[in-house]
Chain A
Amino acid sequence: WTSQWNPDEPIHALEEERPPYHVLIATYLSYLLLIVLGHVRDFFGKRFRQSHYSHLMEHDGYAALNSDFDSFYVRRLKKRLDDCFARPVTGVAGRTIQLLDRTGPDDNSSFELTGGYTRALNVSSYNYLGFASSTGGCADAVDAAIRRYGISGAGPRHDASTLDLHHQTEKLVARFLGVEAAMVVSMGFATNSTNIPALVSKGCLVISDEFNHASIRFGVRLSGASLRTFKHNDMHALEALLREVISQGQPRTHRPWKKILVIVEGLYSMEGSLLNLPMFMELKRRYKFYAYVDEAHSIGAIGPNGRGVCDYFGIDPREIDVLMGTFTKSFGAAGGYIAGSKELIDRLRLRSHAMAYAESMSPPVLTQILASMASIMGVAPPLAAPAGEELDTMSVASRPTAYGPASSSTLPSWFSLPTPLLNGTEGREKLRRLAFNSRYLSSGLRKLGFIVYGHRDSPIIPLLLYQPAKMHYFSQMMLKRFGADKTPIVVVIVAYPATPLITSRVRFCLSASHTKNDIDMLLRACDEVGDALDLKHGKQTMKVEEVIAAAEELVASNF
């Protein structure tokens, strides 16, 4: 199965399933109860146990570092679930993960490690293609790189900390994405927060999806540009907003905007929803805005060639002005990239905060990117270059959007990869497995009657829980299973402020390293826990064993 756009299938579920009213009311009531209880405890605590509140109150003429109002949610709501968050681990975040066991004796105020370990199935890490690994071809390449280059990129890129390795990586990234040029930054968050201010400034308008990542909001705030948001993934709302802002111009003065930058994400990390790129491109042509697509989660994870949303929808990546993505997820490395035309990247090199002041990317990380990316692409021996023409500066018209292999001349000469990585078979295999796993789990959970958000091809699958208490139980019951099968599973639960208050959810992130058996087990576990916690708010149409038996049909069907 490949991850590719099927025009017959709607990009969004037409109508998101709504839970029954009693669930909503119970959710509101439980938050109300938590808030009232919290305030009561604060009220008495401040009077009778002052030592516990000293950091929240004024003392010796210093204002409180964080007010009790600001920290109320954290202290009184999140703390109750704290043993489900930030669980410490050790080793590789691969198909399985090793947890360090811990206990929170004093109501989760602090945790103590017990010294024990639990190995659990990992459906939580952003290891979409399974490249996070301590063995194999990529790790061997990184090993060689550490011996050769050491571990430090040293200072900022503009001082003498640009290595040949940086250029090679940037070339390969550009080739991978099918654009002219790319630039790498040593941290994914900083890729947005240090480059958006270099693109827009006062007098420009940024239009942003309401669920865009915090780093984008951080960057926009630094840039000084005006900001408007539109309803999540709603292209009609975007169009209405575009018509309004272009016709009205800047507030008060009504002068036309200098430029409009629309920032969207390819795949949303909390919703699993996919950008409606075909319609987005139509709007772009009509309204002449510049497009900034954050592919932090979609790059490597989506599309028949793993090239993200452009690949998925078969759209030429050069039509998008700014492509951004991270290496943390599919490539098992760290940091991020910005890619686009050569003029854009040159300009960013001059104006990006990260280039002049932040540390450069470290050689082992660069090598991990090179190795994983090359094995998705496959490596071809160098072709005889056409006379007087460089390979990566072809015009839009001259090249069809077929993603070719990496040419071996772009890779460092000391680089050696094993054959399955070199010829790209393993990369292709990984992409197919991920596509199958995603579609299978997403369809399976729906058939079991859970309310699941997101696109069926998305490897991020959020399952809605609603009530806050169920988050805790879900996480605990997956870890300490009570059914016949006791294999622990670690899951991520997400709540306010990452999601709207009532739609608390558990989020599965699948990986190509998961086998069908793993997904079967996850489905059985969800079925178990879902029955126990009354989570099946949709209509259950199949039993869990039926779902498992019909896996292939489920994946192939477009419902």
Chain B
Amino acid sequence: MSTQSHSSSPTDIPAPLLPLLQLLSSVFLTLQSTFKRIPGSPIIVRYIKSSYQDDPWRSLLEVLLIAFAVRTLLMGRTRGEGAGKNFIKLTEKEIDELVDEWKPQPLVEEPNDLDHLTLSTVPTIYGPNGARVKLSPAGKTVLNMTIPNWQGFVENEKMKQVAIETLRNYGVGTCGPSGFYGTIDVHMKLEEDIASFLGTEAAIIYAQAFAAVSSVIPAFAKRGDIIVADRGVNFAIHKGLQISRSTIRWYAHGDMKDLERVLQNVEREQKRKGGKLTKKFIVAEGVFENDGMMLELPKVLELKYKYKYRLILDESQSFGMVGAHGRGITEHYGVPASEVDMILGSMATGLATGGGFCAGSYHVCNHQRINSSASVFSASLPAMLATTASTAISILNSQPALQSTLQANILLFRQILSKLEPLPMTESGVPTIGSSSTAGSMPPPPVPNKDAIIHIPSHINSALIHIFLLNPPPTTEAEERLLQEVVDEVVSKSDVLITRARRLRGQEIFEPEPSLKVCISSSFSRKEIEKAAKGLREALVKVCGKKR
């Protein structure tokens, strides 16, 4: 009431307060009028007034009663969580009996036959790893085509020198997470090096690439956010998606039409539902770890802008492998790296040291320093792995010739193997495989190959090559055994070490088909590549050809 009287005599109120008071009084009035409009409201008012006059204690009691009722209601709801209806009250004796009765399953199950095969076929390298290795202490040297050694950094002498210098200044471990005196100057230098090499604003490094990938995604994508992911993404991404608890939509592997369809579906759904604007991400890999295919980045970028998505791109394999300087698929397609919101990469594959990184804008990287659990709760990268990674980047920057050697090696290898593929490659190396990679005019009409026994979906520029069987045996186990036979044959006949792609059967979201994995390096000579490819071709024909 007093507000009204004040506003009616405006003379003794300072002018700037007038609108405020007017607002207050109008709010008060609307409240009053709405209350009056509620049916039965005069009765309540009368009741309160009269009861207060008769007996103030009674009204107090009534208020307390209401409060108590509300409290019991709330209590009931919280208790429902743990115990509730489903909780069975048992006596102590009954509990004791149940405890005695309970027999847990063994902590680990008995390994099956395939497990034994997996365990017994893991090779051990005696001495240093690299392009040429020994499989027993006094054994012969074999060509190692299983490790991601794209540019031959594994055996680089310069990097060893740098590592020893670093050891003499920094020791080995950092003895602390980056928040607690674990940020060394060499870490900051490496972050700057990565950012300027790729051309992003900033970068952040992690102590392991696998953990980086699975921790960056949940640092941004939360419950309620939407992630559209390629069905072919690697295991680390799967784990990241799982932790994020976001809504996940899959699109067919490498199929841009399907991606657009999924994006449209999401848009339609969101329009129908309305509600708050959520974060939306597309997650894909540059070169896919599971089959070596390459992402059609320009198309993805186009769609990302059209439908307002952010792109998380895992370049763990492609960083150091493709592009004129090895900057990854952004360089390959000539797209500025800053167009991709988050580029994940690995220093352990392309640079042959250790750890992973995420490059992006300043805000993207800074956010992770406090919100990404693998960065916050883990000791930082050993100093020598950081300095050697910096060295490797400067080598990549200054020696583009490495890339052309690598590409020539890949091409040679693929040409030799293509004789077993459904559509053999022409001499000039025009890729005839893959439906999406070369649209439009393809000069010679492909001749179907009747000797075809394998299928290689990997991109022609990818140093990571997966070989799939065209007519696999009926069961996965038989197929794995067959591929292992090929691996054994190649190593015993041609002294070339390749591997079957190791999977975690039973833990993958989509079970990948068994395949052989071959990694090409620029440190192999043309002769070695030729020998290896021919050896592998013969082994494939020998082991798989006869079974058809």
Collect the chain A residues with CB atoms within 8 Å of residue B346's CB: 359
Decide yes or no: A142 and B172 within 8 Å by CB, A90-B184, A159-B499, A356-B503 being known contacts.
yes
Q: Does B447 contact A (CB under 8 A)?
A: no
Q: Is the CB of B502 within 8 A of A158?
A: yes
List residues of A (96-154) whose CB comes within 8 Å of B's CBs: 97, 100, 122, 124-127, 132-135, 138-139, 142-143, 146-154
Q: State which of A21-29, A343-351, A379-387, A535-543 sits at the interface with chain B.
A: A343-351
Find out whether the CB atom of A158 lies under 8 angstroms from the CB atom of B349. no
- A55: CB under 8 A from chain B? yes
**Apart from the given pairs A125-B181, A152-B153, 12 other A-B contacts in the complex at a CB distance below 8 Å:** A62-B310, A66-B367, A88-B185, A93-B182, A134-B170, A155-B148, A158-B118, A158-B502, A222-B239, A348-B108, A362-B354, A364-B167
Would A161 and B147 count as touching, CB distance under 8 A? yes
Name the residue on B nearest A261 (C-beta).
Answer: B107
Is B499's CB under 8 angstroms from A160's CB? Answer: yes
Restricting to A317-331, which residues have a CB under 8 Å from any CB of B? 321-322, 326-329, 331
Q: List 5 A–B pairs whose Cβ atoms lie within 8 Å, in order of A's numbering.
A: A155-B148, A199-B108, A242-B99, A347-B109, A368-B173
Answer whether residue B111 sits at the interface, using C-beta atoms and an 8 A cutoff: yes
Chain-A contact segment, one of B123-131, B409-417, B532-540? B123-131
Q: Please provide the chain B residues from 302 to 324 with a CB less than 8 Å away from any CB of chain A in the complex.
A: 308, 310
CB-CB under 8 A from B381, the residues of chain A are 334
Which of B46-54, B370-378, B399-407, B469-477 is found at the contact surface with chain A? B370-378
Q: A258–B109 Cα gap in the complex (Å)?
A: 12
CB-CB under 8 A from B418, the residues of chain A are none
Given known A-B contacts A124-B176, A159-B517, A364-B163, A89 and B181 have beta carbons under 8 A apart: yes
Say yes or no: A158 contacts B122, CB within 8 Å. yes
Interface-located stretch among A249-257, A273-281, A302-310, A523-531: A249-257
Chain A: minimal CB distance from B271 (Å): 13
Contact of A139 among B168, B186, B502 (CB under 8 A): B168
Given the contacts A159-B502, A350-B115, A364-B167, A151 and B159 also touching, CB distance less than 8 Å: yes
B198 at the interface (CB under 8 A from A): no
B175 located at the interface, meaning its Cβ lies under 8 Å from any Cβ of chain A in the complex: yes
Q: Flag if A368 contacts B175 (CB, 8 Å).
A: no
Across the interface, A153 reaches (CB within 8 A) one of B119, B126, B354, B379, namely: B354
Whether a CB of chain A sits under 8 angstroms from the CB of B484 is no
**Chain B CB within 8 A of A313 CB:** no
- Residue A549 is within 8 A (CB to CB) of chain B in the complex: no
Residue in A155, A189, A248, A353 whose beta carbon sits within 8 Å of that of B377 in the complex: A189
Contact call A93/B243, Cβ cutoff below 8 A: no
Q: Does A411 contact B (CB under 8 A)?
A: no
Min Cβ gap A248→B in Å is 7
- CB-defined contacts of B364 to chain A, threshold 8 Å: 65
Min Cβ gap B163→A in Å is: 5
Cα(A494)–Cα(B432), bound, Å = 59
Q: Which of A58, A189, A252, A328 is within 8 Å of B211, CB to CB?
A: A189
- Tell whether B482 is near chain A: CB-to-CB under 8 Å: no
Do B104 and A289 have beta carbons less than 8 Å apart?
yes
The 8 A CB mask of B324-358 against A (1 = contact, 0 = none) is 00000000000000000000001011001110000
- Taking CB atoms, residues of chain A closer than 8 Å to B176 are 93, 124-126
Per-residue 0/1 for A39-50: is the Cβ within 8 Å of any B Cβ (1 yes, 0 no)? 000000000000
Contact B210 A357, beta carbon cutoff 8 Å: yes
Complex formed: what's the CA distance from A256 to B105 in Å? 10
Most chain B CB within 10 A, of A63, A87, A198, is at A63
Q: Are A328 and B167 in contact (CB under 8 A)?
A: no
B373 and A215 contacting across the interface, CB-CB below 8 Å: yes
Assess the A286–B99 pair: CB atoms within 8 A: yes
Which single residue of chain A is at the shortest CB-CB distance from B356? A359
CA gap between A495 and B212 in the complex, in Å:
25
Chain A, 222-277, CB within 8 A of any chain B CB: 222, 242-243, 246-248, 251-252, 254, 256-261
Q: Which of B98, B144, B173, B370 contacts A247 (CB 8 A)?
A: B98
- Hey, which chain B residues are within 8 Å of A36, CB to CB? none
Most-contacted residue by chain A among B94, B209, B497 (CB, 10 A):
B209
In the complex, per-residue mask of B176-188: 1 if CB is within 8 Å of any chain A CB, else 0: 1011111111101
| Closest chain A residue to B378, Cβ basis | A189
Q: Which chain A residues lie closer than 8 Å to B232 at the CB level?
A: none
Residue B363 lies at the interface, judged by CB distance under 8 Å to chain A: yes
Asked if A206 lies at the interface with its beta carbon under 8 angstroms from chain B, I say no
Please give, as numbers and ranges, the residues of chain B lying within 8 Å of A154 by CB-CB distance.
Answer: 129, 147-149, 154, 348, 352
Candidates B107, B109, B171, B277; contact of A321 at CB < 8 Å: B107
Query: Is A333 positioned at the interface, with any CB of B under 8 Å from its CB?
Result: yes
Judging by beta carbons under 8 Å apart, are A222 and B502 in contact?
A: no
Complex CA–CA separation, A71 to B363 (angstroms): 12
B78 CB–A CB distance under 8 Å: no
Interface flag for A490 (CB, 8 Å): yes
- A92 located at the interface, meaning its Cβ lies under 8 Å from any Cβ of chain B in the complex: yes
Interface size of B by CB at 8 A reads 118
A396 interface contact, C-beta 8 A: no
The answer to whether B146 has its CB under 8 Å from any CB of chain A is: yes
A354 touches B (CB below 8 Å)? yes
Nearest CB of A to B139, in Å: 12
- Interchain CA distance A159-B268 in the complex, whole Å: 44
Give the docked Cα–Cα distance between A329 and B172 (Å).
11
A139 to B127, alpha carbons, bound, how many Å? 20
Contact between B125 and A93 (Cβ–Cβ < 8 Å)? no
Interface check A156, CB cutoff 8 A: yes
- Is the CB–CB distance between B504 and A351 below 8 Å? yes
Q: A65-B220, A321-B107 are in contact. Are A150 and B160 (CB under 8 A)?
A: yes
> DSSP majority for the A interface?
mixed
Q: Are B147 and A139 in contact (CB under 8 A)?
A: no
A74 to B, closest residue via Cβ: B370
Q: Which of B66-124 contact A (CB under 8 A)?
A: 86-88, 90, 94-95, 98-99, 102-109, 111, 115, 118-119, 122-124
B246 close to chain A: CB less than 8 A: no
Known: A88-B188, A350-B118, A357-B210. Contact between A362 and B385, CB under 8 A? Answer: yes
Query: Does A365 have its Cβ within 8 Å of any Cβ on chain B?
Result: yes
Given A134-B167, A147-B160, A151-B384, the answer on whether A188 and B497 have CB atoms closer than 8 Å is: no
Say whether A152 contacts B220, CB under 8 Å. Answer: no
Q: What residues on A are CB-neighbors of B280 within 8 Å?
A: 63
Interface string of B145-157 (1 = CB under 8 A from A): 0111100011110
Q: B133 contacts the other chain (Cβ, under 8 Å)?
A: yes
User: Known: A149-B129, A256-B102. Contact between A189 and B353, CB under 8 A?
Assistant: no
Which listed segment binds B: A3-11, A162-170, A428-436, A451-459? A162-170
> Which residues of chain A have C-beta atoms less than 8 A from B236's C-beta?
353, 357-358
Binary B-proximity of A183-226 (CB < 8 A = 1, otherwise 0) = 00011111001100111000000000000011100100110000
- Smallest distance from the beta carbon of B205 to chain A beta carbons, Å? 12
**Chain B residues, Cβ within 8 Å of A167:** 124
Q: How close is B165's CB to chain A, nearest CB, in angstroms?
A: 10
Residues of A contacting B504 in the complex (Cβ-Cβ under 8 angstroms): 351, 353, 356-357
Q: Are A214 and B388 in contact (CB under 8 A)?
A: no
1/0 per residue A57-72: CB within 8 Å of B? Answer: 0101111111000010
Smallest distance from the beta carbon of A309 to chain B beta carbons, Å? 20
Q: Choose among B172, B209, B220, B352 the residue that contacts A66 (Cβ–Cβ < 8 A).
A: B220
- A contact residues around B133 at 8 Å (CB): 160
CB pair A193–B354 under 8 Å, yes or no, is no
By CB atoms of chain B within 10 A, which of A91, A155, A198, A248 has the most? Answer: A155
* In the assembled complex, B279 has its CB within 8 A of some CB on chain A: yes
Does residue B507 face the partner (Cβ distance < 8 Å to A)? yes
Q: Tell me if B174 is interfacial: C-beta within 8 Å of chain A.
A: yes
Query: Does B115 contact A247, Cβ atoms closer than 8 Å?
Result: no
- Chain B residues near A350 (CB-CB < 8 A): 111, 115, 118-119
Are B208's CB and A186's CB within 8 A?
yes
Cβ 8 A contact of A97, one of B125, B181, B278? B181
Is the CB of B509 closer than 8 A to any CB of chain A?
no
Q: Which of B175, B215, B353 has the most CB of A within 10 A?
A: B175
Nearest 9 A/B pairs, CB to CB: A358-B210, A359-B348, A187-B208, A189-B378, A154-B147, A347-B108, A328-B379, A125-B175, A158-B502
